[in-house]
Chains A and B, each alone.
Chain A
């Protein structure tokens, strides 16, 4: 899922941003349909972040709703010079961290259960045969588990950088962190992942 839908076309990006600002302005004037457009535009990105952070579809769905409700409540204080999506990510990431902490406090569910509940999307079967698809699905499952085992902050930066395709600067803005800290978090998170995914990485190397 790409953060901006039309990468590479500078003109289009500007248009999208202008439209966001316009929709926000209309919502502030009391036009709820304008906010509906914003929800439809960005719910997928927020859902993906939440799913990768929380590990199951149900919690991710709840988090999407809560994010947009809170954003609506605080829309008057949204800075027009910042990207609306970055602002949404900021709210969603805070909610994710809160949710993960309250889970810890309650005694966390096992990750296995969570992974069973949330289903990975079916992989593209057009090119590869069923065996290759199954292997790829299994690898993706292992990768998702490894991500879910990372500490919260590390998980957040990895998901934002490599799955949501955000730049380090955007992540820094969304998480209110210096870019240096984001880079350090990314580096440490990747080291942890490498350690945990060592067998898979070696398998891939042998395969090639």
Chain B
């Protein structure tokens, strides 16, 4: 941003007011006096002056520069704006960690290969259907003038049903791949996970609701607590980090003791309620895990 120094200008017009008294405030838009209102008007034009894109006529620019030469407050304001812009523009360009072109071309060619095998109705052309192109957020002029080649290519294309329901702007080939992934995911993984979830829930419910289960659970908690305490004791002999791990394990054993005590004092009814809660939580957790995984695979 280079600005020519203010030239001597006799015809100051609206800006021909005496320089303000030093120490006087120059807050814009708050003024009641003519000087302040002038400063406010000048400051309003400073961004345009900084932009230097012809919005401000040369005569007006000269008048503003004349005012800046006379008014320290406005001059400081302009100076800060200039410094900020200089600081921003001094940021160096960032070097790319790698050349992305090979990766991009591989992905494009990969999409084409998938498209060739999965969709016989598609031509091997790389473009999304006109419908998906027009739904692309970055496109505002889909269907407007394009080259003759582009029109010829569009005419060759066969619109594929069902693509509108998928996330907009994706390549058709990506949609096909992802639909296939979704199908395989829902048919195999969903079943696996649901089975696992119901088995685990049933196991937890059994341990907490049956008399034998409660006994086993209590005994196991007991066992775990003493086991953790023993390991903690052994670890304590190791210098430095050993003491830390020992503290952690001993803390865990305390927690196990606490669970056991709570469990004993709760009684059967509370234990049944707890069992139900735990089973529901386990089922909910697996459901959410499944959804998250599906979301990641779909890139949602």
Asked if A39 CB lies within 8 Å of chain B CBs, one says yes
Question: CB-defined interface of B41-52 with A at 8 Å, one 1/0 digit per residue?
Answer: 000000110010
Asked if A1 CB lies within 8 Å of chain B CBs, one says yes
A117 to chain B, nearest CB (A): 11
Residues of B within 8 A of A121 (CB): 92-95
B140: nearest residue on chain A (CB-CB)? A176
A76–B94 CB distance below 8 A: no
Asked if A5 CB lies within 8 Å of chain B CBs, one says no
**Majority DSSP secondary structure for residues of A touching B:** helix
* Docked pose: A29 CA to B127 CA in angstroms: 11
B98–A61 CB distance below 8 A: yes
* Docked pose: A145 CA to B219 CA in angstroms: 56
B92: nearest residue on chain A (CB-CB)? A121
Asked if B14 CB lies within 8 Å of chain A CBs, one says no
Q: A65-B107, A74-B138, A162-B85 are in contact. Are A29 and B128 (CB under 8 A)?
A: no
B134–A77 CB distance below 8 A: yes
B53–A168 CB distance below 8 A: yes
Question: CB-defined interface of B115-136 with A at 8 Å, one 1/0 digit per residue?
Answer: 0000000001111101011101
B101–A143 CB distance below 8 A: no
How many residues from B make CB contacts under 8 Å with A?
A: 61
How many residues from A make CB contacts under 8 Å with B?
A: 68
Asked if B248 CB lies within 8 Å of chain A CBs, one says no
B93–A48 CB distance below 8 A: yes
A123–B92 CB distance below 8 A: yes
Question: CB-defined interface of B67-106 with A at 8 Å, one 1/0 digit per residue?
Answer: 0000000000001110111011111111111111101110
Asked if A19 CB lies within 8 Å of chain B CBs, one says no
Q: B153's contact among A28, A60, A124, by CB below 8 Å, is which?
A: A28
Q: In the complex, which residues 64-88 of chain A have their Cβ closer than 8 Å to any Cβ of chain B?
A: 64-65, 68-70, 72-81, 87
Q: A143's contact among B47, B88, B107, by CB below 8 Å, is which?
A: B88
Residues of A within 8 A of B100 (CB): 39, 43, 47, 61, 64-65, 68
Residues of A within 8 A of B199 (CB): none
Interface residues of A (CB under 8 A from B): 1, 24-25, 27-30, 32, 35-36, 39-40, 43-44, 47-48, 51-52, 57, 60-61, 64-65, 68-70, 72-81, 87, 90-91, 94, 118, 120-121, 123-124, 139-140, 143-144, 147, 158, 162-163, 165, 167-168, 176, 183, 186-187, 190, 193-194, 197, 200-201, 204-205
